[in-house]
Structure 1
């Protein structure tokens, strides 16, 4: 069975820049959700289609900490694709990146003063070890300065349709950790923020556009500059990877994040059979309101379990499906007066078990081609005249992360040639007399009313 998910309804998202309240963020002991997790925000989506499977306070802007690095990674892959940078391109350490790299309170690989490092080395340090100075180095390589890189981050966020975001640096650190060298135009105590929905959308596009990121994020341990005196062990902060303390089958990414402001956050992705999901948890705490690595991974585990156990890829419409109330369209200027219409491909979607009967098809005709229920000849077989979308009867469906709907094209099932001149003329004459007869009979009838 072929899986088809079309993006028919595009939602134009206008970014809103937020002003962050300055102060210490105290993790809140949220009321237990239906999944038994305690978070400030969470969301679970199908990584293939973007179908939202679960959400909890997903539209409130919250601190994202090092989950920010997914945007830096996206822009890095894009620059590599465009050829503006290369994997073996070397970055020379400056005073800013050197100073940040020496702060071992932060996640870092120490960089040598005036040393040089390839983009590949820096990227591996970012994706595996969440190295902050290495992240800044990549940002500077792409844009010249981190301040200019932030402009690229904001532009890409708008392009991807993210909402309620605020980027003040490339790393997700609090600016106060950047030793007074934070990007110009940003506040000393500012920190990046975004809602869980936007974080999930960023992760969704990263995996859709650059799935090769998983080849690195799945590495649980690696030695930076192995075989040199600068060698340092890099242990992946994603403790749900195989062989690590909170191992979960199928996990191969994506990005953790922890700061005092943001709390313990995680964007995780895992596969089971042919199904991949993306989970985002923000400021995860335990039952006592205390944030920890375990709290964020326990919350993610609950989301993964829910997605894999409660949802199944289900065919909702077969190819060639015809609509009971409209199996045909009228044809103008055609040799045939009607033409059959049907779905082009099957429609499948990740839905909760036993909810197949809860969805019904809705035909949406292309208003530019179909007017008053008629379409003009000539028509080839397979001409697209609209699309179908699946609608949940009770309106409780959570939709898609990109505002799309599950559906497929609706096409004509046969060819209809344009009628010849004689046929069109006779048809016009027939229509004239039919109209005249209708008018006359109506007139006569009116005399006796």
Structure 2
């Protein structure tokens, strides 16, 4: 065989191997879905053009981090103003550490006032010298996506912007957000920050992340600080009502219940858009007992008005599909069960996500049982829920002892005393006769 023939043969083998691996992945992956967001929306009659295909999308379950849908979830993309979710996560963490409270006030100094007037940035109308509480700044940062309000919040954690951005990147690493790097706390392209670029991050770069990484961040944010939904569930808010600083803001989250494309159960979370990022969104919503997180990044183009709404049309269509396929329900009732040729006792009801397209089985191992089917999680640290079980005979014996503990202790005590008396009688019977005679002589 010539050298060229050998190369051709090896290329054929490599190609066949790659195709085989791809087919295996598509067969076993529980989230492998050949349908893209545009296709899912169009199946529901939405008529979205291919040019609006997102660059990365993922849906996970808040309860356990299980991936329910994914389409290029690891593609790196600018999160734009969704960056504020990391800043707000760190603000909540600092409040938990007692550094400040929601009633702590921050004054609009020259820096914050200047940032509020920078062109091309989302902001609100700050006045120099005005004061705002953390509560008011959280609402303004989340609903109005105010960059200046976000800087006011980050200044409470670290006055030095470089140190705060260092903390953002350190936290991203700790959360296993492996595709993420921040250059500023707000998500604007760094060149637009002009003189307010952090000294340690002077590059004209965009913050970068992925749909997967933002699902990880949002999962942690909702798990540790669900209070954020108090701010994100409102389609219209007014800050400093009745004062000269009063402002009213309308949500950019068009899928929010009560908004233009409102979806029942959606109560958060944050959008992000720029000329480099297009339109992004991080959504969360709950139907029955199933809360999901959806992250969609890179619906282009920022200068194309339909793109902003097509983002939410596609997100709503994906949520329809996810809620139709998955539900959170009881999969095992506490009590006595037959497992093979033995009986076991399960201590608690087991609830889990059920995929109506995939048949699951109950796996009993090492005293714990879980509902098993082929699925993936957002990170290696997440696992299916489990409940404890044990051999039924052992459980029955333990229960009998616990239920009759008093009688058993009493019986044992009585038996011991009776045994002692019998032993004394056997060794010294005259003691009992003497006692009997003394009693009769009285």
Taking structure 2 as the reference length, what is the TM-score of the superposition?
0.72
Structure 1: segments with no counterpart, 5+ residues: 1-29, 328-339, 366-384, 418-449
CA distance in 2, matches of 1:412, 1:95: 66
- Note if 1:407 corresponds to 2:379: no
CA distance in 2, matches of 1:326, 1:69: 56
Map residues 10-29 of structure 1 onto 2, 5 A cutoff: none
- Note if 1:237 corresponds to 2:260: no
Alignment check: 8 A CA contact 1:180 1:188 kept: no
**Greater share of helix:** 2
Structure 2: segments with no counterpart, 5+ residues: 1-35, 43-47, 399-442
Task: Give the superposition deviation at 1:297.
Answer: 0.6
Map residues 3-402 of structure 1 onto 2, 5 A cutoff: 32-33=38-39, 36=42, 38-103=53-118, 105-285=120-300, 292-320=307-335, 324=339, 327=342, 343-353=346-356, 355=358, 358-365=359-366, 385=367, 387-392=368-373, 395=374, 397-401=375-379
TM-superposition CA deviations, 1:175-213 (whole Å, max 9, x none): 111123211222432121112111011111111111111
Q: CA RMSD in A?
A: 2.8
Task: Give the superposition deviation at 1:263.
Answer: 1.4
Alignment check: 8 A CA contact 1:362 1:389 kept: yes
Secondary structure of residue in 1 paired with 2:299? coil
Relative contact order, higher structure (CA 8 A, sep 6+): 1
Alignment check: 8 A CA contact 1:347 1:406 kept: no
CA distance in 2, matches of 1:321, 1:281: 45
Taking structure 1 as the reference length, what is the TM-score of the superposition?
0.71
How many matched pairs? Answer: 350
CA distance in 2, matches of 1:400, 1:185: 31
Alignment check: 8 A CA contact 1:204 1:278 kept: yes
Distance 1:42 1:172, change over 3 A: same
Distance 1:323 1:262, change over 3 A: farther
Structure with higher Rg: it is 2
Alignment check: 8 A CA contact 1:345 1:408 kept: no
CA distance in 2, matches of 1:409, 1:181: 52
Worse overlay, 46-55 or 63-72: 46-55
TM-superposition CA deviations, 1:162-186 (whole Å, max 9, x none): 2221011111111111123211222
